[in-house]
Amino acid sequence: MKTFFNLENPVWEFIGNLADLFLLSVLWYLCCLPIFTAGSASTALYYVTLKMVCKQEGYTAHSFLKAFRANLRQSTMIWLVCLAGIGLLCADVYWSLCSGNYFASALLPAFLILSLLFAVYLTFLFPLLARCDNSTKTLMGMCVAISFRDFLPILSALILTVGIFSAGLFLFWPLLLIAPGLAAYLNSFIFHRILEKYHLDLPTD
């Protein structure tokens, strides 16, 4: 019985992690409400979950909000560029599907492959920003290089994220309450290994 009430008991540790993931998810949803701040919200989310994976977490809300404010300008600029890229790719795919001419249809596979590559790039971009303090141009270039070198692990993180949100949307809606935090936490185990390989130090509060 004494062991059960020990705060280091795996049961209590799991419950504590669930509470943290719920809080992180709520903060992420709220900070994404103005769409242009979604990049900063995602950077802050990964800042905290990467620390959780390394057992260096502190006060969850404080760490999230501090990272959100610290990265607001750079991550918002990056996110707006990415939004433009998303819009362009969506327009290309729509044109290929709806234009009705052979040339447009023939380009559809290329646009779909480009969309997948861009989705993989986006999956790793904000975790990298959470870990790496560098200029926007250098950081985006680093993300391109690492995304190609570690394509399969990052793709698996993308599939995991899509799977969690899809399960929440179509199978069990309460999962959406922790979906952002859960996806980021599980992905952080993958990203931590990749980032450690390139000797990118964990930022400290």
User: Is residue 31 assigned to a domain?
Assistant: yes
92 in any annotated domain: no
- d(C-alpha 161, C-alpha 97), whole Å: 26
**For 84-143, what is each residue's pLDDT tens digit?**
999 999 998 888 888 777 777 788 889 999 999 999 999 999 999 998 888 888 899 999
What is the token pair recorded at 134? Answer: 């560098």
Residue 200 zone, left/alpha/beta (φ > 0; ψ -120 to 50; rest): beta
Pick the more confident residue, 2 or 107: 107
Cα(112)–Cα(107) distance, integer angstroms? 9
Rounded Cα distance between 50 and 28, Å, is: 15
> Could you tell me if 22 and 178 are in contact, meaning their C-beta atoms sit under 8 angstroms apart?
yes
With respect to residue 124, please indicate whether it lies within any of the assigned structural domains.
Answer: yes
Residue 22 domain boundaries: 10-71+115-197
Q: pTM for the complete prediction?
A: 0.87
pLDDT per residue as tens digits for the range 24-69: 999 999 999 888 899 999 999 999 999 988 877 667 888 999 999 9
Q: List CB contacts of 12: < 8 A, sequence separation 6 or more.
A: 6
- The string of pLDDT tens digits covering residues 179-197 is 999 999 999 999 999 998 8
Residue 178 lies inside a defined structural domain of this protein: yes
| Spatial CA neighbour of 22 closest among 181, 199, 194, 186 | 181
Q: Which residues contact 33 (CB under 8 A, 6 or more apart)?
A: none
Q: What is the residue type of 46?
A: Y
Alpha helices of the chain — where are they, by DSSP H?
10-31, 38-53, 60-70, 72-98, 102-131, 136-149, 151-170, 179-197
Report if residue 78 sits inside a domain: no
Instruction: State the Cα torsion 176-83-108-187 to the nearest 10°.
Output: -40
Q: How many domains in the chain?
A: 1
Q: Is residue 110 part of a domain?
A: no
